[in-house]
Amino acid sequence: MTRKGRRLTLIASALGTLGAALGLVLYAMRDNIVFFYGPSELAEKAPAPGARLRIGGLVKQGSVTRGAEKSITFIITDTKKDVAVSYSGQLPDLFREGQGVVTEGILTAPGQFRADTVLAKHDETYMPRDVADALKKQGVWNEGAPKPAGVTK
Amino acid sequence: MIGEFTGHIIEAGHYALVLALALAAAQATAPLWGVRRGDAALMGIAAPAALMQFAMIALSFAALTYAHLASDFSLANVVENSHSAKPLIYKISGVWGNHEGSMLLWVLILVVFGALVAAFSRAMPDDLRAATLAVQGWISGAFILFILLTSNPFARVFPAPIEGRDLNPILQDIGLAIHPPLLYFGYVGFSISYSFAAGALICGRIDAAWARFVRPWTLLAWMFLTLGIAMGSYWAYYTLGWGGFWFWDPVENASLMPWLAGTALLHSATVMEKRGALKVWTIFLAILAFSLSLLGTFLVRSGVLTSVHSFASDPQRGVFILAILVFFIGGSLALFAWRAPQLKPGGIFAPVSREGSLVLNNLLLTASCATVFVGTLYPLALEALTGEKISVGAPFFNLTFGPIFLPILILMPVAQMLAWKRGDLLGAAQRLTLAAAAGFVTALGLGAIHGGPVLSIVGVMIAAYLIVGSFVEIAGRIFARGVSASVALARALGLPRSAWGAAFAHAGMGVTLFGLAATGWGIEEVLAIRAGDNVKAGPYEVRFLDVETKPGPNFRATVARASVTSGGREIAVIEPARRYFPTRQMSTTEAGIVTIGLGQLYVSLSGENADGSLDGRIYWKPWVSLIWIGALFMAFGGLLSLSDRRLRIGVAKRARAPAAVQPAE
C-alpha cells in the first residue's frame, strides 16, 4: 500500500469510529434520556401521558396507603402541586412521609404517575439534589433555612 | 486521654502540611529554572524536595490518623466523622471517609509517587527528571493549597463536644479501607504519566526512550485503577442490597474514563517504544488520562453530583477544583499545542500489522471513552445551560458504549497474532480457529443448561473465545511440532514476561465478560421472610432458621439466620442482617452471601413489616464472581508485565545504551 493509501486508511478509520460513536450517541439520546420534573413543573409542562419521567419532591404527610401484595400509593408534593404515585415493590430504607424522594416511571394521566423505581437515599440529612432544587424553585425551601412544614428532621 | 500532647501532634501535622506547600513551591520552580539555564544544582533540588515533601505529608497524615484514633473531638473533622465507640478499623479508614481526609489521602499518594520517581528514576536524563518532578510539584502544590484554603482537616471546634457524630454507616465497612486507597493509587498514578508528558514537552525529549520510562508508571497506575474499580463495584454489590455491581452512575463513570484512556496509553506507548511512532498521540493520551482523573476528582469532590462519594458540598470547593482542572488541562494542552508541531512525524504504517491494530485499539478505546464522557457530562451541561434536568442511565450507555467496545473484545486476540510492520490477517484468523471453537462449545453447553437470553449466550461465546484466544499466540511460541515437554517448559519460562502479562490481562477481560454475560441467567425472588420459611432459589434452597436482634458496638442488628441447602445437604449458614445506627438514625443492609463454585447465593433484608415478617430478596447469580476475578487477572497481567526485565524502572538507560551506538534514523 502506498504511503498516501496508508494515510487515507488511517484517517478513514478514525473518522469512521468517531462517526459511529456520534451516531450511536445521537440515536441513544432520542429514547434513553429521562427528564426530571417537580410537581409544579409537571403541571406546567404537561407532557403527554406515556412519557417516561422522573418525578421528585416530598412525600406528603398522611398520603401513604399500602395495598395488597406490596403495592403502595402516595403523593409527591412541592407544597404547591401534587402528583399521585402508585408503586409496587420494595421501598428504599429511608422512604418516609415528609422526606424527599425521587421516583422514575410512566405518566399514566395528568397528575397520575406509575413508578417502577423509587430511588434510595444515602443519608438522613441528605435531600436529593433534584428535589432540593425543585423545592427551591418553588420558593418553599432554602438551604440552611429550616425545612418547610411537613419535613421531618 | 486527650491532652496537651495530642494537641502538639495535631499542630505539628498542620504545620507539616504548610511546610509541604513551601517545598512544593520550591520543587515546582527551581528545577524548571535549572532546566532552562542548564544548571545542574538547581535541577538537583527536585529530587530531595520531592522526598522531603513526602515526609511532611506523611507526618501530616499520621497526625490526622492519630487524632481519629484518639477520638480528639476538638477537631471538626473528627467530630463530624467519628464516634468513640466506633470500631478501630473504621477509626483508621474513617480518616479518608470524609472530604478533607480523602483529599489529604489524595495528596499523600501523589507525593508517594513523586518520591518514587525521585528515588527510582536515576537512569533518566537529568533535565527530564527535573522537569517531570517540577510538574509533579505544581500538582501537589495546587492540591495542598486547596486543602489548606478550603478543606482543612485540622480545623478546630471550640468548645470541643464530648462525643462525635459517627461515620456515615454505609462507609463503616472494610471496603472503605481498601477501595479509596486502591482507586487513588490509580487516579493519582496517572499524574506521573502526565508529568512525564509535560516534562518531555518542556525538555523536547520525546522519543522511544521516553516511552520506556513512562510505561512502567502507567502500568502501575493502571493496575491499581483496575483493582480499585473492581473493589468499588464489589463493595456496592454486597453493601447496597440490590445485587447490582455497576450502575453507570457518574461517579463510576468518572473512574472508568481514566481507565479507558490509561488502557489506550499503555498500548500506544508500546508502539512508540517499538516503532518510534504515535509520539504526539501518546503524549496526548498521557495528558488525557490524568485530565480525566482530575475531572473525576472534580465531579466527585465538588458537590456537583450527589452520591455517597460526595461528602459535603461547598460551592467554594467546587470553584477551586474547577480552577485546578482548567489550569492543568489548559496548561498542558497549551504546552502540547506549542511543542507538538515541532515533532518529526513518526511515519505511517500498514493497517494490517501489530501497530495498525494498536491504532485501532486506541481509536475504539477513546471513542468508547468519549461516549461515557458525553453521557456523564451532558446532563450537567444541559442543566447549567438551560436548567432542564435529565438523567442518562444504563440504557444509554448499553446502547453507545456496548457496540463500540464489542469490536475491541473480538479483535484483541487477532491483534496479538499480528506481527510488527506487516501482519497476516488470514493466518491470524486461522490460528484462532481453536479459540472460536471453544466459544461455540461453551455457548452451546451453557445455552443447553441455562437457556435464557441470547445476549448471555453470545456473551459467554465471545468471553470463552477471548480467554482461549489470549493464550493462542503464546501457545504457538511454546509448542511446535515434535517439541518435548521439557523444551516447551523452558520456552515458556524464556518468553518475555510482558508477553505473559498481555495474555493474562486480555484473558482477564474475557473472564470479566463471562461473569457479566452470565448475569442474564440470575434468579431473583422478592419475599416476606418469617422464621421457618423455605424458599427455592435456582438449584438451592434457603431455610430461615430464626430472626433475632443482636447488639453491635455502635449499632443494633436484626439478623435472619438462614441455612442454604442443595438436595438436602447443608452448604452454609448465612446471616443477612439489617443494622440500625442510632447516632445517625440510619439503617444499612448486610447481605448474606455464600459463594458456591463461581456463583453466589445472595440474601438481603430490607424493611420490617407490621406483621413481624421481614422484606427480603434472594438472588442466585451463577458465575458472578468471575466479574471481579477477571479484574484480578488483569492486574496480575499488569504485574507480570511490570516485572519484565526490559521494563523495570531504572534500567531503561542500560537498555538504551546499545541503541546509541547506531546512528539515529
Q: What is the pairing mode between strands B577-581 and B569-574?
A: unpaired
Tell me the three cell numbers of residue B40: 545542574
CB-CB under 8 Å, A34 with B350: no
Q: What is the pLDDT of residue B306?
A: 58
Check whether A147 has a pLDDT greater than 70: no
Nearest to A124 among B368, B585, B588 (CB): B585
Taking only the tens place, the pLDDT of each residue in B428-481 is 888 899 999 999 999 999 999 988 799 999 999 999 999 999 999 898 888 877
CA distance B467 to B459: 12
Residue A45 and residue A65 in one domain: yes
> Do A93 and B350 make contact, defined as CB atoms within 8 angstroms?
no
Co-location of A45 and A25 in the same domain: no
Q: What percent of chain B has pLDDT over 70?
A: 94
Pairing relation of β-strands A82-88 and A112-118? parallel
Contact present, B269 and B318 (Cβ < 8 Å)? no
Full strand arrangement of the beta sheet holding B523-529: B523-529, B614-621, B599-608, B592-596
Query: Does the pLDDT of residue A23 top 60, yes or no?
Result: yes
- A32 to chain B: closest CA residue: B396
Give the three-class secondary structure for B483. Answer: coil
Taking CA atoms, what residue in A is nearest to B403?
Answer: A24
DSSP-assigned letters across all residues of B328-340: HHHHHHHHHHHHG
pLDDT at A152: 32
Percent of chain B exceeding pLDDT 90 equals 60
Residue B652's pLDDT band, with cuts at 50, 70 and 90, is: very low
Q: Specify the DSSP element, H or E, that contains B326.
A: helix B315-339
Same domain assignment for residues A19 and A64: no
Sequence-ordered alpha helix ranges (H) in B451-556: 454-478, 485-494, 497-518
Task: List the single residue in A20, A93, A126 with the smallest CB-CB distance to B587.
Answer: A93
Class assignment of domain B1-172? mainly alpha
Residue A149 lies in a domain: no
Cβ-contact A54, A35 below 8 angstroms: yes
Q: Kindly state whether residues A25 and A59 are assigned to the same domain.
A: no
Within an 8 Å CB–CB cutoff, is residue B326 touching chain A? no
Touching check for B589 and chain A: CB below 8 Å?
A: yes
What is the rounded CA–CA span in Å between residue B349 and residue B361?
15
pLDDT of B660: 38
Distances (CA, A) of B204 to B243, B282, B432, B540: 51, 14, 43, 64
Number of domains in chain A: 2
The three cell numbers locating residue B102: 480523602
The verdict on residue A151 lying in a domain is no
Per the CB < 8 Å rule, is B360 touching A29?
no
Is B399's CB within 8 Å of A24's CB? yes
> How much is the pLDDT for B596?
92
In a mutational test of the A interface, the residue from B251, B363, B529, B590 whose CB has the highest number of chain A CBs within 10 Å is B363
Sequence length of chain B is 665
Of B224-233, B628-637, B640-649, give the lowest mean pLDDT range.
Answer: B640-649
Contact call for B168 and A122, based on CB within 8 A: yes
- What residue segments make up the domains of chain B, in order of their start? 1-172, 173-411, 432-519+631-636, 523-621
Q: Tell me the pTM.
A: 0.90
Residue B143 has a pLDDT of 97
Rounded to a whole number of angstroms, the distance from the CA of B362 to the nearest CA of chain A is 10
Q: Rounded to an integer, what distance in angstroms lies between the CA atom of residue B661 and that of residue B665?
A: 12
Interval B67-113: pLDDT, tens = 999 999 999 999 988 998 889 999 999 999 998 999 999 999 999 99
Residues A77 and A19 in one domain: no
Asked whether B306 and A128 are in contact (CB, 8 A), the reply is yes
Q: Measure in Å the smallest separation between the Cα of A118 and chain B Cα atoms.
A: 13
User: Does residue B374 surpass a pLDDT of 90?
Assistant: yes
pLDDT (average), residues B143-160: 93
CATH number at residue A131: 2.40.50.140
Residue A134 pLDDT level (bands cut at 50, 70, 90): low
Mean pLDDT of B35-62: 95
Q: How far apart are CA B272 and CA B211, in angstroms?
A: 6
Instruction: Kindly list the distances between the CA atom of residue B473 and the CA atoms of B95, B417, B467, B572, B639, in Å, as whole numbers in the listed order.
Output: 47, 6, 12, 42, 20
Question: Chain B partners of A6 at a C-beta cutoff of 8 Å?
Answer: 348-351
Q: In this complex, do B606 and A24 lie within 8 Å of one another by their Cβ atoms?
A: no
CB contact under 8 A, B586 and A7: no
Average pLDDT of the segment spanning B308-319: 68
Question: Which whole-number Å values give the CA distances from B498 to B270, B293, B505, B637, B646, in the listed order?
Answer: 11, 26, 10, 8, 9
As a whole number of angstroms, the distance between CA B611 and CA B619 comes to: 24
> Which residues share a beta bridge with B614?
B529, B608
In a domain, A43, yes or no: yes
**Co-location of A54 and A126 in the same domain:** yes
Q: Compute the nearest-CA separation of B7 from chain A (Å).
A: 31
- Residue type for position B454: V
The ipTM, to two decimals, is 0.79
Statement: residue B380 has pLDDT above 90: no
Render pLDDT for B58-78 as a digit per residue (tens, 0 to 9): 999 999 999 999 999 999 999
Same structural domain, A40 and A55: yes
Cell triple for B387: 436548567
Instruction: Output the pLDDT for position B504.
Output: 96
- Asked whether residue A145 is domain-assigned, the answer is no
Average pLDDT over chain B reads 89
Interval A75-95 mean pLDDT: 83
Alpha-carbon separation of residue B219 from A114, B213, B375, B498 (angstroms): 48, 11, 27, 11
Q: Which domain holds residue A27?
A: 1-32
Query: Radius of gyration of chain B from Cα atoms?
Result: 27
Is-contact B224 B113, C-beta < 8 A?
Answer: no
Percentage above 70 pLDDT, chain A: 75
C-alpha–C-alpha distance, residues A21 and B403, integer Å: 9
Phi and psi angles of residue A65, each rounded to the nearest 5 degrees, phi first: -125, 125
Cβ-based burial of A69 (10 A; exposed 0-12, middle 13-18, buried ≥19): exposed
Check A1 against B350: CB less than 8 A apart.
yes
B511-527 confidence digits (pLDDT tens): 999 999 999 999 988 88
- Asked if residue A41 has pLDDT above 90, the reply is no
Mean pLDDT of chain A: 77
**Rg of chain A (C-alpha set):** 22
Question: What does the pLDDT read at residue B664?
Answer: 37
| Residue A47 pLDDT greater than 70, yes or no | yes
Residues A90 and A131 in one domain: yes
Does residue A128 share a domain with residue A53?
yes
Q: Is B659 a residue whose pLDDT tops 50? A: no
Output B18 or B343, whichever has higher pLDDT.
B18
The whole-number average pLDDT for the span B24-53 is 95
A152 touches B at CB < 8 Å: no
Cβ separation of A13 and B390 shorter than 8 Å? no
Q: A94 and A117 in one domain?
A: yes
Q: State the Cα–Cα distance between residues A82 and A40, nearest whole angstrom.
A: 8
Which residues of A, range 25-84, sit inside 8 Å of B by Cβ?
Answer: 25, 27-29, 31-37, 54, 70
Q: Are A23 and A45 in the same domain?
A: no
The verdict on A40 and A12 lying in the same domain is no
pLDDT surpassing 70 at residue B167: yes
| C-beta atoms of A17 and B364 within 8 A | yes
**For the purposes of burial, counting CB atoms within 10 Å of the CB of B604, is it exposed (0-12), middle (13-18) or buried (19 or more)?**
buried
The pLDDT, as a whole number, for residue A140 is 57
